[in-house]
């Protein structure tokens, strides 16, 4: 095979991996899993037969072992936590860490210690927020992409550039909005996050909203609109309609406006006119003090 042939093959293999979503190196050295030795079976795998059940409480206490018998207890088999059990543990930990945070800095530090979202293992950086935390508008997108993951900031890639242009149309920029995402780590290859991944981050987003306490929320894309407003309709139905975002920690509901995601607008530019209507509605609320929840 020629040098060119080798190069072409290597490039084709690389392209294939990128298309399959493997577009980030997550280790220093490549691992050849076709020749790597098989892992020893773990000692915590299920034994052939289950351990004997403990004696009933009413039976007399077992006699002491005969002299010389080992004092060591037989190993107790504990099942691996199943997906449900670990998802519940992640949610519990997320709730505990989130409610204990009393400032945005503490919330970010809590996320740094949180181990309940598996996306953290493959991401380069935590992507917490950008913009002005004092702003009247808080925008919540979906999940960081490759550029956001590299920079540790939300909406700094191609979608972010469109978002900036959209905001500029109504006189806003990153000094007048606060921007975050539902997920704080990039899903590998930008795959759709699982329900468990979204659920594990939700308590942090809920606390994020409480701590930032904006006047208005803009829910950018279906993921934030559906999860924060507990709605099942698609974004094309939800967009443009102000709805109250309520949560137990808030003194009053916050008006929330679902809108189309810039990544969708890049694919469907003819839908920009709908996003423009949503922007005008936000502008009206900011400029006139109109209460979007009053239905007038």
222 in contact with ligand URA (CB under 6 A): no
| CB neighbour class for 99 (10 Å; exposed up to 12, middle 13-18, buried from 19) | middle
> Encoding tokens for residue 253?
């509901």
181 in contact with ligand URA (CB under 6 A): yes
Query: In 3-state terms, what secondary structure has residue 220?
Result: strand
Least separation in angstroms between CB 93 and ligand URA? 24
| CA–CA distance, 196 with 187 (Å, rounded to integer) | 13
Sign of the dihedral through C-alpha 235, 236, 237, 242: positive
Nearer to ligand URA, 86 or 194 (CB): 194
Nearer to ligand URA, 98 or 143 (CB): 143
131 in contact with ligand URA (CB under 6 A): no
Contacts of 159 (CB under 8 A, 6+ apart): 145, 261, 262, 263, 266
Nearer to ligand URA, 162 or 254 (CB): 162
The residue sitting closest to ligand URA, measured at its beta carbon, is 141
Select from 98, 101, 116, 159 the one that contacts ligand URA (CB under 6 A). 159
Nearer to ligand URA, 149 or 206 (CB): 149
Query: Taking CB under 6 A as the criterion, which residues in 239-268 touch ligand URA?
Result: 263
Nearer to ligand URA, 183 or 199 (CB): 183
> Encoding tokens for residue 290?
């109109």
Residue tagged 């490039």 (tokens): 11
Select from 117, 135, 138, 142 the one that contacts ligand URA (CB under 6 A). 142
Contacts of 226 (CB under 8 A, 6+ apart): 232, 233, 235, 238
| Residues forming the site for ligand URA (CB under 6 A) | 141-145, 148, 154-155, 157, 159-160, 181, 221, 263
């Amino acid at each position: 095979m020629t040098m060119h042939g080798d190069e072409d093959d290597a490039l084709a293999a690389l392209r294939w991996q990128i298309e399959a979503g493997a577009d980030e190196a997550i280790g220093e050295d490549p691992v050849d899993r076709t020749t790597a030795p098989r892992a020893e079976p773990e000692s915590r795998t299920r034994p052939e037969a289950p351990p004997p059940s403990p004696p009933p409480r009413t039976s007399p206490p077992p006699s002491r072992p005969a002299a010389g018998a080992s004092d060591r207890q037989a190993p107790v088999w504990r099942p691996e936590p199943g997906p449900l059990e670990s998802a519940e543990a992640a949610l519990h930990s997320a709730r505990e860490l989130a409610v204990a945070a009393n400032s945005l800095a503490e919330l970010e530090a809590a996320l740094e210690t949180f181990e309940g979202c598996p996306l953290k293992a493959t991401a380069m950086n935590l992507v917490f927020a950008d913009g002005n935390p004092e702003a009247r508008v808080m925008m919540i997108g979906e999940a960081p992409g490759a550029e956001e993951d590299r920079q540790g900031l939300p909406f700094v890639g191609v979608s972010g550039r469109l978002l900036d242009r959209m905001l500029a149309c109504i006189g806003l920029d990153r000094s007048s909005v606060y921007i975050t995402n539902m997920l704080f780590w990039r899903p590998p290859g930008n795959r759709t996050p699982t329900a468990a991944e979204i659920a594990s981050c939700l308590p942090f987003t809920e606390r994020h909203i409480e701590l930032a306490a904006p006047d208005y929320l803009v829910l950018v894309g279906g993921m934030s609109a559906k999860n924060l407003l507990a709605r099942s309709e698609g974004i094309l139905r939800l967009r443009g309609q102000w709805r109250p975002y309520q949560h137990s920690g808030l003194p009053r509901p916050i008006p929330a406006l679902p809108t189309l995601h810039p990544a969708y607008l890049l694919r469907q530019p003819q839908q920009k006119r709908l996003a423009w209507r949503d922007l005008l509605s936000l502008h009206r609320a900011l400029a006139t003090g109109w209460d979007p929840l009053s239905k007038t």
